Amino acid sequence: MYEPARLWRASVSATVAISSSAFIRSPGLARRRAPKPNRFDSVDRLMSGRDDRPLILAINAGSSSLKATYHDMARAGQSVLSIQIERIGGPGSRMQIVGNDGALLLDRTADLATHDAAARAFFAWVRREQPAIAPRAIGHRVVHGGRAHRAPHLLTADLQADLERLISLDPDHLPQALAVMKVVSAVHPAVPQAVCFDTSFHRSMPRAAQIYPLPARFAETGVLRYGFHGLSCEFIVQALEAIDARQARGRLIIAHLGHGASLTAVRDGRSLDTTMGFTPSGGIMMGTRPGDLDPGVLVHLLDAEGMSAAALNRLVTREAGLLGVSGVSGDMRDLLERESGDPYAADAVALFCYLARKAAGGLAAVLGGLDTLVFTAGIGEHAAPVRARICRGLEMLGIELDEERNDGHAPVISRDGSRVVVRVMKTDEGLMIARHVWRLLTGA
């Protein structure tokens, strides 16, 4: 991924190997009985805390990572403290913490076997090193909301039980998110929690964009095209509204291109279609996911290759995509550096750009034309060659790219006079979560 990881890698910082227990010095926590997550009497009680700043903690639990940011809602959601933990469950998990001035406060490795251990580690550090920081509420990104959940919601026992029942829809993300929620309940028993679903933004899609060409009984049991990266899309729509309301309400394609990648067609601020479907593995090619595959390929692998369902899931979530085609890396930066001398790396980059361009053309047909194309997320924000190759061939839609602007990652990379405005915009799913949670608490 692009994000701050490369900057952190470049930082001169001692890496100290320690066990997860070394992070955790929180005496008495095990003896505290956590009440139900949302047991509170009034908004006044919600708004109490050791720190008088209205801080919202936004947590994003990935399959092997954990991100958490404290947002100051009195300062438009400005980041106060940001935590990133990578390689959870593997050797040498890495925890990095950055302050509001961008200074690296911590860079350590440890063997953090679970998301539970990772969450306890960062909470212990915050309590020890930043004891004044006290969130007034905590929001979680939940990748899959199923059919029933269409909006952010305060976490209740019933909702938590419902999410447990949805694990079969998203076994690679939901267990981790639920584990972190339980840690939060133990560490901050009086602080309300909320969940924000990555699928919510796409529930406005017309029925034809949601159903699969399968017998109707499958749709009735939840086998539908849900779409993901909804929080990112929602943030981009709001940010674009502040820049140019006409563009935000027009025919818009959001290309969220990172380790996970998807394109979404938006009109009047509403999702009409998106490339991801039942799971985040569908759609276009990604870092380690293949995107859409001929179903016959999966049947063949199950039958002729004798693959188990677990092995097949591992293949389509961790071993395919850029990594699978190149054989060396799922990171676009690595492949761009290698492609001139490595035909497999070149194949991976070419296929990624081809599939993204093909998807953009199809979504433009859904919209009946195109007014604005936005590139966002790690690859979308930072990989100028990828943006150029995706746009090359889309001239018939009215896209005219300015090479100099694109190479300089300018906010607008299309030429003056281009019928389609092409933008590069930074997304912020954590801030979107914080806004949703703040709205739930205050009604603002």
In 3D, which of 116, 126, 93 has the Cα closest to residue 15?
A: 93
Strand-pairing partners, residue 78, are 72
In 3D, which of 277, 357, 367, 282 has the Cα closest to residue 320?
A: 282
Distance CA 323, CA 287 (A): 6
Strands 93-99 vs 78-86: parallel, antiparallel or unpaired: antiparallel
198 is catalytic: yes
Distance CA 314, CA 64 (A): 13
Distance CA 310, CA 150 (A): 30
Decide if 183 contacts 222 (C-beta within 8 A): no
- From 72, 107, 170, 198, the catalytic residue: 198
Mark out the alpha helices in 24-155 (DSSP H runs).
43-46, 115-129
Distance CA 262, CA 282 (A): 9
Helix 115-129 × helix 174-187 angle, to 10°: 30
Cβ atoms within 10 Å, residue 147? 16
Which residues have CB under 8 Å from 421's CB, separation 6+?
Answer: 247, 371, 372, 373, 412, 414
Enumerate the active-site residues.
198
